[in-house]
Each structure stands twice: as structure tokens, then as C-alpha cells.
Amino acid sequence: MTDSAVTWTLSGFGDEIDPDPAIQIAVLKALDAQHIEVRSAWGTNVVDLDDDQLAQLATMLTDAGMGVSAIASPIGKVDVSLDPDLEVERLKRIIRVAHALGTDSIRVFSFFRGEGVSVDSTRDAVMVRMRMLATEAEREKVTLLHENEKDIYGDTPERVLDLVESVGSPALRLAWDSANFVQVGVTHPHDDGYALLRPYLDYLQVKDAVAATGGVVPAGEGDGQVLKTITALKDDGYTGFASLEPHLDEAHALGGFSGPAAFGQAARAFAGLLAEAGVSTR
């Protein structure tokens, strides 16, 4: 590859800014983002939006000229012991949301487990459930983007690779999150995981974390090797989405929050890394 600049598409988790999608849109547009990653609106998770809310949200986005990079669904953020058909039914609702908002990308996870339950003992159940979800995604022509969330089956590079290769579906791809890797003890995410997972990596989520404390910080201020990953993606010819998920104020099981000011701080930190790597955004 040459050193000429490449262009990625900037997005961000709107509900990290404010519960009101009008404010989400306004702040993202002020940061020169023309796309949003939708996790909740008006304090309601995407899986629970009713048809009227969904129609209103779709109109707001269209009127603002705002595209949707992905639906940040909670699919797979449940205990692996639950009935797998229930999660497939929730995915069907999320797919309706995706279609209504004009995206074919849906973030998913690979299941929590009960206290004291070993991760290895859940492997077969996880694979069955992820295959069921992938089959539904194939049928509906959408792509599931697995995020390496903390405390799910796929939280380390090796298990993420096991997951995506074992399921073996073109509808199951990967979102990369440096901070989450750091928080589960992968102290050098790029060195330890990038080469393994790059063939399946279709989406970049942007946050960083400090290994000593697990605290989330703006990109480049932690131990997630974010600049190294940005540079490698650029050199590999990546031209996809980079989605800001700062988590700078609070984080919880189903998401996080930053507020407009901290979200802007995170965007500026990421912009600095992009400039250093020779990547522009649109």
C-alpha cells in the first residue's frame, strides 16, 4: 500500500450523547459525522421500539440526511442457558428495525454465562445459538457484527476466532473493540489479536482503556494500541465505518453514556489519531 490518505466513514453511538435522537443527530452532524449507530432512542432500546417510534426515528434520520451505520442491538447479551428461540425472535424484530432504518449491519454478542460457570463448558451451546442467529441473518440478507464484549464467550481473540470460524457463516463478521480486549486482560490487543481476526473484521468501534484499572479513556490515551490498529487497517485497505463509543461517563451491561461534551472530546482524540495515520473521514 502507498502512504496516500484513505477515507473512512465516521459514525457514533447516538445514545452516548443524549436520549433524544434530535440531539444525537445534531451533535453528530456538528462533529461532521453523517452516520449514526442506533442503540436506543428516547431511552428505549432498539429491540423495544414500537412501530410508531420506529417510523418517527426513520423520518428524523431521513430529514437530517443521516445514514445508519449499524443497529447496536443487545442480541446475545443474555445468559446462554435461556431458550435460544427467544433470541432468534428478538433478532427478527431487530432485523425489522434495520430494514426500516436502511442498514444491513447488526451488532451482536456471544452470550453471558452464570456465576461459576466455566467459559469452556458453554462453547457448544454458544455455537448452536450463534448458528441459529446466523441462519436467520442469511435468510434476511443482513450481516451480524460480533462485538468482543466483556464476559461473553467471544471476549478474547482466540475465542472470537473460534466463534467466527466454527459458525462459518458469511452473515457473521466482526466488530473490533480495543477497550473491551484490554478490560479482559488482553494487554496488547493489536499484537495479540489483529492478525488472527483481520480476515473477518468489517467494523471498527472506537474506545480505549487503561490496563491497570480497566477505565475507559479517549482513543490513544490507554493501552488498546488504537493508533497501531488504525494504521494497520489503513495499510490493509480498510474503507469502512469507524464508530465512536466513548463510554466516558458511565458504562453498564447494555451500553454506556458520555454526554455531548465528553463525546466531542472522544471525537477530537480519535481525529488526532486518524490525522497521524493519514486517514480522513466523511
Tens of pLDDT, residues 38-56: 999 999 999 999 999 999 9
Mean pLDDT of all residues in 206-228: 97
Asked if pLDDT for residue 1 goes beyond 50, the answer is no
The predicted-structure confidence for 16-46, as pLDDT tens digits, reads as follows 999 999 999 999 999 999 999 999 999 999 9
Mean pLDDT of all residues in 201-228: 97
Q: How confident is the model at residue 3 (pLDDT cuts 50, 70, 90)?
A: low
The predicted-structure confidence for 57-95, as pLDDT tens digits, reads as follows 999 999 999 999 999 999 999 999 999 999 999 999 999
Range from 91-100, 254-263, 270-279 carrying the lowest mean pLDDT? 254-263
Adjacency order of strands within the sheet including 241-244 = 35-38, 67-72, 105-108, 143-147, 172-177, 201-206, 241-244, 6-12, 279-281
Mean pLDDT of all residues in 176-189: 97
* Cα(241)–Cα(233) distance, integer angstroms: 11
Q: How confident is the model at residue 247 (pLDDT cuts 50, 70, 90)?
A: confident
Q: What nine digits make up the cell of 103?
A: 442498514
Q: What is the pTM of this model?
A: 0.95
Contacts of 116 (CB under 8 A, 6+ apart): none
Q: What nine digits make up the cell of 202?
A: 468489517
Pick the CATH number of 6-281 from 3.30.360.10, 3.10.580.10, 3.40.50.300, 3.20.20.150: 3.20.20.150
Contact by Cβ (8 Å): 242, 204: yes
Show the beta-strand stretches assigned E in 187-271: 201-206, 208-209, 216-217, 241-244, 250-252, 255-257
Q: What is the mean pLDDT of the chain?
A: 95
* Cα(270)–Cα(248) distance, integer angstroms: 14
Asked if pLDDT for residue 262 goes beyond 70, the answer is yes
Mean pLDDT of all residues in 271-281: 97
Q: What was the pLDDT predicted at 250?
A: 58
Asked if pLDDT for residue 150 goes beyond 90, the answer is yes
